[in-house]
Amino acid sequence: MLPSISPTQVILIFLLMAWLSACVIFDLRSRQVPALLTIPPLVLSAFWRLFQGGWSVVILVVALILISDFPWPKWRIPLACLATVLTLSIPDTSENIYALLVIFAAWGLWEIGATGGADAKLIISLVLLFGNGLLFIPIVLAGGIQGLFGLIARKKTIPYTVAITLGTAAWLWLVAVR
Amino acid sequence: MRFLKDTAAIETAEVAVIIAVVVLVAYGAYQILGQKIAQVVQDVAGRI
């Protein structure tokens, strides 16, 4: 089935995919994504989410960034849990509730060292941009398949930006054909 | 800003698989039991 999308949406999707592809190229080359490709999109998508009225999601992101510098490491995750519960207690749409949970999960995985900071920032930026945490499901599915191939090939680490890009493309396709 | 400065883009293969399994199981359980869970929460909230 072919999705029906406007020319403006085509341009936006093209820009989004160009940005994610640039991140994949850097990741494949050096397992690093420059801050220029992660911080400006994070800031822009946070402003976009604020403009859309999802301020509780933006508050959680700012709180988690501040908590990551908390001087006592063992208190960071409990503090992040508290911040997430407090933002979840604000009455909100189901999409924003999923978004809060995914943002906490992405940050938590980074905090325990399971994922890189660039990957976490990309996921958080995408969740802020689309305002829907369900985007995380195709991303982790793509990551799981990629991880399985990595295990078969006896590779310890995988470039997760590939899973983020493929998962986002799959999610956009699903949203467009729905 | 430790989080913002981290430019690493690595993910352990095992972790990627574990996350996928956990998210799939959680999402599947929510799809199957979501209505019942919401009903139980409503009942408890009503009694309080």
Which portions of chain B are predicted below pLDDT 50?
A: none
Question: Helix, strand, or coil here: A93?
Answer: coil
Provide the pLDDT for residue B48: 67
pLDDT at A108: 94
The pLDDT, as a whole number, for residue A24 is 94
pLDDT at A1: 55
pTM of the model: 0.89
Confidence at residue A2, expressed as pLDDT on a 0 to 100 scale: 57
This complex has an ipTM of 0.83
Q: Do B16 and A137 touch (CB under 8 A)?
A: no
Chain B residues in contact with A64 (beta carbon < 8 A): 3
Best probe of the B interface among A21, A68, A124, A154, by most B CBs < 10 A, is: A68
d(CA A63, CA A113): 19
Interchain contact A35–B (C-beta under 8 A): yes
State residue A111's pLDDT score.
93
pLDDT values of chain A reduced to their tens digit, one per residue, 178 residues: 556 678 888 898 999 999 999 999 999 999 999 999 999 999 999 999 999 888 899 999 999 999 999 898 899 999 999 999 999 888 778 888 889 999 999 999 999 988 899 999 999 999 999 988 889 999 999 999 999 999 998 888 888 999 999 999 999 988 887 7
Q: For residue A41, which of A61, A59, A70 has the smallest C-alpha distance?
A: A61
Q: What is the spatial distance between Cα A27 and Cα B28, in angstroms, rounded to a whole number?
A: 32
B13 close to A (CB below 8 A): yes
Contact A146 B16 (CB under 8 A): yes
Rounded Cα distance, A115 and A74, in Å: 18
How long is chain B? 48
**Residue of B2, B4, B7 to mutate for A, most A C-beta atoms under 10 A:** B7
Burial class (CB in 10 A: 0-12, 13-18, 19+), A56: buried
Q: What is the DSSP string of A15-81?
A: HHHHHHHHHHHHHHHHSB--GGGTHHHHHHHHHHHHHTT-HHHHHHHHHHHHHTT-SSGGGHHHHHH
In this prediction, residue B36 carries a pLDDT of 79
pLDDT attached to residue A3: 62
Q: Look at residue A148 in the predicted model and tell me its pLDDT.
A: 92
